[in-house]
Amino acid sequence: MVLEICVKAAAGAPDVLGDCPFCQRVMLTLEEKKVPYKNKLVDLGNKPQWFLEINPGGKVPLIKIDDQWIADSDVIVGILEEKYPERSLTPPPEFASVGSKIFISFVKFVKSKDPSDGTEQALLDELKALDEHLKAQGPYIAGEKITAVDLSLAPKLFHLEVALGHFKKWTIPESYTHVHGYTKLLFARESFVKTKPAKEHVVAGWEPKVNAA
């Protein structure tokens, strides 16, 4: 059975996959579990009526499982794990929250207009903690095997790399060698290559947020 999943279309290009890291997380999960699926692209700037009828909240990702539409990437990933347990992506509980503050730290830094407000240092601290974890446990968060934690982090690290490179000419310090190895490993996976948005759409997605800050 092919699962239907509603994902963000690129801004200004409704026929092209957009830049939502939470949509990509769900697609990565489906790819890694080898579950067939079909994307329905949704223009979030001009949401179609059929989409609002099945999902009044208007958010993506949204997936149809057993004739029911389900929203929220956390919920979706949990249900996919229960429904398709044969390729388990469940991380050991002690690793479940590794790197969980990186995205919020990145968002604060990319929107920041004040170089001395501490947002850069806060992000560096989170990345350093990830680097130390990977040094001890790597190459993935839970060791040799990819898990749901990696699939949640991968799109966020991609956004971080693209958006900070574009808006702040900023890159992850070379000294964080384990983080660099980790991103290289994640971004080279077949599942990631198949589901990643084009860099220009990531930049276009962040533009209004950065300029509004």
* Cα 200 to Cα 122: distance, rounded to the nearest angstrom: 26
Cα 130 to the center of its chain, rounded Å:
16
Q: How many CB atoms lie within 10 A of CB 115?
A: 9
Is residue 213 predicted with pLDDT exceeding 80? Answer: no
Q: Confirm if 61 and 26 have CB atoms less than 8 A apart.
A: yes
20 in catalytic set = yes
Place of tokens 């966020």: 156
- The pTM for the full model equals 0.96
Q: Omega of the bond prior to 139 within 30 degrees of 0, cis? A: yes
pLDDT tens readout for residues 31-41: 999 999 999 99
Number of other residues whose CB lies within 10 A of the CB of residue 25: 22
Q: What domains, with CATH codes, occur in the chain?
A: 3-83 (3.40.30.10), 93-212 (1.20.1050.10)
- pLDDT tens-place string over residues 172-211: 999 999 999 999 999 999 999 999 999 999 999 999 999 9
pLDDT of residue 21: 98
Average pLDDT in the 103-129 region? Answer: 97
**Which residue among the candidates 9, 20, 141, 151 is catalytic per the annotation?**
20
How many Cα neighbours within 13 Å face the side chain of 159?
26
Give the mean pLDDT of 163-170. 98
Average per-residue pLDDT for the chain = 97
Give the Cα-Cα-Cα angle 69, 72, 78 (nearest 5 degrees): 90
pLDDT, average across residues 67-89: 96
Asked if residue 197 lies in contact with residue 139, where contact means CB atoms within 8 angstroms, the answer is no
DSSP code for 143: B
Q: Are 7 and 21 in contact (CB under 8 A)?
A: no
What mean pLDDT is predicted for residues 161-178?
A: 98
Mean pLDDT within 140-145? 97
pLDDT number for residue 88: 97
**pLDDT value at position 212?**
85
Structure tokens at 133: 């974890």
